[in-house]
Amino acid sequence: MSTLQVRDVPDDVKQILKVRAAAAGQSLSEYVLHELQELTGRPTLAELSARIEARGTYAPTRSAADVLADERAARR
């Protein structure tokens, strides 16, 4: 594993992280590592946009009204 050092963390940010770590029953390092893992597990908006763009467009062959009409007819 690597080591990551973060400089110039504002005092209020560090204090909030310490309080949250204590509430979670974790050390500050454990808490920050967990939060970083959570953060990197979620795609950014740019990544989501790229995924959506890569899918291309969808052109439905039937209108929503037709689909609903068929569903209603099938229930009768």
Contacts with 18 (C-beta within 8 Å, 6 or more apart), sequence order = 28
**Cα gap 19→76, rounded to integer Å:** 59
E-only strand ranges, 1-76? none
Give the pLDDT mean for 28-53.
96
Has residue 5 been placed in a domain? no
Q: What is the pLDDT of residues 12-26, one digit of tens each?
A: 999 999 999 999 999
| Domain with 65 in it | 11-75
pLDDT above 90 (res 74): yes
Number of structural domains the chain divides into: 1
Q: How far is CA 32 from the centre of its chain?
A: 17
**Cα gap 76→70, rounded to integer Å:** 10
Task: Please tell me the predicted confidence (pLDDT) of residue 69.
Answer: 94
Has residue 36 been placed in a domain? yes
